[in-house]
Amino acid sequence: MVVGFSTKDAQRIGAAVRAFEREHRGARHLIRRRAPQLAQPFFLGKLDEDLKHDDSADMSVWSGVALSEADNTSTVTVYPWKFADATKIASGAFVIAALINGIYYVIYSDTCPVDE
């Protein structure tokens, strides 16, 4: 989405930023330092082992340029999200994991869960 500003609005915004920076002399870098470091909310990857309904598994993280992602040698521990009892997703499945309540849940897989 592109947001367009008129020249007058852009000048007003620029003037407000400059006034703030003059008033707070160097405070801008302090504000940035206090900002919390957020964990990445999603990972694309491939399961390194079976992900069973009641257990966790390691996932190889894939990253890179759009449409040419590859294994970046990092791993993340992932957990099942709403798996039926006695089911699993097999090792090698491509998955998407989302950060929910502090842990990564598999929310998508290119294969359906199968019986253990």
Condensed to tens digits (0 to 9), the pLDDT of residues 68-109 reads 888 888 899 999 988 888 889 999 999 999 998 889 999 999
Q: 21 and 74 in one domain? A: no
Q: How many domains does the chain have?
A: 2
Which of 60, 65, 67 shows the shortest CA–CA distance to 45?
60
Question: What does R_g of the chain's alpha carbons equal in angstroms?
Answer: 22
Q: What is the residue range of 28's domain?
A: 1-35
- What pLDDT shows up at residue 36? 46
Count, residues in the chain: 116
Strands 87-89, 114-115: pairing kind: antiparallel
pTM score: 0.63
Q: Among 54, 43, 49, 52, which residue's Cα sits nearest to residue 107?
A: 43
Residues 18, 50 within the same domain? no
Identify whether the C-beta of residue 106 lies closer than 8 Å to the C-beta of residue 94. no
Classify strands 51-52 and 42-47 as parallel, antiparallel or unpaired. Answer: unpaired
What's the pLDDT tens digit per position in 2-36? 456 677 777 777 777 777 666 666 555 554 444 44
Residues 11 and 68 occupy one common structural domain: no
